[in-house]
Chain A
Amino acid sequence: MLRRTLIALAVLFAAVVIVLPVAAILSRAFAEGVGAWWAAVSDPETLQAVWLTVLTALIVLPLNILFGLCAAWAIARFRFPGRRALLILIEIPFAVSPIVAGLCFLLVYGAYGPVGGALQPYGLQLMFNLTGIVMVSLFVTCPFVVREVLPVLQVTGEDEEKAALTLGANGWQIFRHVTLPNVTWALVYGAILATARAIGEFGAVSVVSGAIRGQTMTLPLQIELLYNDYNTTGAFAAATLLTALALLTLVLRGAITAIHPAHGARP
């Protein structure tokens, strides 16, 4: 009895919270037929928004991997002053609302902030263009890789690395042949989560984007714009693209779970 009730509750919850809204996106997007959907999706501004979103994700991804690995390794393997502080700092983007993050970036890197103001005489502008969008995307996504890789490093310990050291391996060889293979799946998993987050980010990007049509609109911003414009079909058609990108990351995640069950089982 309890078992059935629990299952029914879980299914009901999934239907109400996940399935119905996604189904609504699809039904609205195709409400005026596939032709209207295609016309909305192939609109140059929407295509530009897709490209900017993908480009941002592609730039943020390698930087995240690099930063995530360095930070996780440093925290797991070394004892240094400020180590705990670094650990807490890395968590900040999880706790801070993205819109607050965007405003902070604007205040510091905007044309009249301390950093942005210093660069302005040289004609360098950081906000309201791709640079700004990449910077805030990095901010909101940087904890993911660290949070995935760090526990794995801590669990595996440094015995293997020490063994490699006694066998004469240099630092790079140890990293390449001992450390990295241990954390590969955690790394990939963290990178996927970070990418999904970068693609969907709205609040922080909305503050620093400048919303210039055909130039600095990402897909989530474009969806809001179309929706506010009473262009319902256009908004939901663009939403199907965003959903498709999200599903793609889900499929990747599923594939990893299949290849490497031990990791995929973790939340």
Chain B
Amino acid sequence: MIRSTLTAAALGLGALTTPAAAQDAPDEILNVSYDIARELYAAINPAFIAQYEGETGQELTVDQSHAGSSKQARAILQGLQADLVTFNQVLDIQILADQGFVAEDWQEQFPNNASPYYSLPAFMVREGNPKDIQDWGDLVEEDVSVIFPNPKTSGNARYTYLAAWAYALEENDGDEEAARAFVDELLDHVEVFDTGGRGATTTFTERGIGDVLITFEAEVLNIVEETPGYEAVVPSQSLLAEFPVAVVERVADQRGSTEIARSYLDYLYSTEGQEIIAGFNNRVHDEAVVEANADRFPEVDLVTVEEVFGSWEEANETHFASGGELDRMLR
């Protein structure tokens, strides 16, 4: 009697204290992602689920959450149960790594800096390219009106700003003064500063303002495919925009979903996954897929933020922080 009571008590205690890590792998995972990737992952998920079931026999559900990636990182820090993240800003995963949610060496855990696909700032012009805009230098011709969002508020525009700066450095053999003058002049050619990429696109397409819109190549190509009246122009040089991914180990380890989350991210690198991703106009690394899509993605010299500006932290500090280069130019 006593023994059975004790056993029961021990079992009860055990049930209360056993960490969740002892659970079986769940059949549902949550991918927390950036705001405009909804359709991409709506296409990826069923394909991954089918492949995973074929391999393991387990039926999975993949849930999606989409919002601005900084907001998503904050939500995860406050307890949003993300098994993995697919973001469009390296810094937003770095924040998770700094707080111990993601492995410190997360960029080494998957190929290409843990970025299964990439894009770059490119131009969208009106049909026939009436102002003959081919490269960054053409943007500061006298009668050219440019549209991109405010780099103060938009991550998208920060890429544009830094890409222009990097181009001017290259053209002027690293002369900072010349680069500053070029970017300053480019900002003078911006007719409307919207707060975000979506607003800038609306200004260009629906309000009909501006000769050229600068945004990610993937977005330019999506619009050109769907709406007549526009053309894509890829400049000679641009800035690599990575789309980094990581397993949120603090959550996944607890839920027992680490292996599934890894399989999901591996799938993004598989030929099948890369094909789907390229179908949404993102550039990928898989050689077979790159070759098959060569006509859509013209060659371009890509520089990275790390090469030109040291790191994102330094670029933010120098250019976008209060009193930085951008503030002085806009004043």
Contacts and interface: CB of A to CB of B under 8 A. Distances in A.
A215 B35 contact: no
Interface residues of B, number: 20
A99 B17 CA distance: 37
A106 interface: yes
A262 to B, nearest CB: 46
A5 B24 CA distance: 74
Contacts of B75: 106, 128, 210
Contact of A225 (B38, B63, B81): B38
Interface stretch (A109-117, A154-162, A191-199): A109-117
Given A211-B67, A213-B64, A228 B35 contact: yes
Given A112-B77, A211-B72, A215-B63, 17 more contacts: A112-B78, A112-B79, A116-B79, A123-B20, A125-B79, A127-B79, A127-B80, A128-B75, A128-B80, A206-B67, A211-B65, A211-B66, A212-B64, A213-B38, A229-B38, A229-B39, A230-B222
Contacts of B80: 127-128, 210
A210 to B, nearest CB: 5
Contacts of B36: 228-229
Interface of B: 20, 30, 35-36, 38-39, 63-67, 72, 75, 77-81, 198, 222
Contacts of A107: 78
Nearest to B78: A110
A229 B67 CA distance: 11
A112 B65 CA distance: 20
Contacts of A110: 78-79
Interface of A is mostly: loop
Interface of A: 106-107, 110-113, 116, 120, 123, 125, 127-128, 206, 210-215, 225, 227-230
Contacts of A125: 79, 81
A233 to B, nearest CB: 13
- Of A113, A210, A228, the most chain B CB neighbours within 10 A belong to A210
Q: Which 8 A-B pairs have the closest CB atoms?
A: A111-B79, A110-B78, A212-B65, A211-B65, A128-B80, A213-B64, A210-B80, A106-B78
Contacts of B79: 110-112, 116, 120, 125, 127-128
A230 B206 CA distance: 12
A225 B80 CA distance: 18
Given A123-B20, A228-B35, A228-B36, A213 B65 contact: yes
A215 B79 CA distance: 16
A223 B122 CA distance: 28
B229 to A, nearest CB: 15
Contacts of B77: 112
Contacts of B81: 125, 128
Contact of B198 (A106, A211, A228): A228
Given A211-B66, A212-B64, A213-B66, A113 B39 contact: no
Contacts of A123: 20
Nearest to B219: A230
18 contacts: A106-B78, A110-B79, A111-B78, A112-B77, A112-B78, A116-B78, A116-B79, A125-B81, A128-B75, A128-B79, A210-B65, A210-B75, A210-B80, A211-B65, A212-B65, A213-B38, A213-B65, A214-B63
A206 B75 CA distance: 11
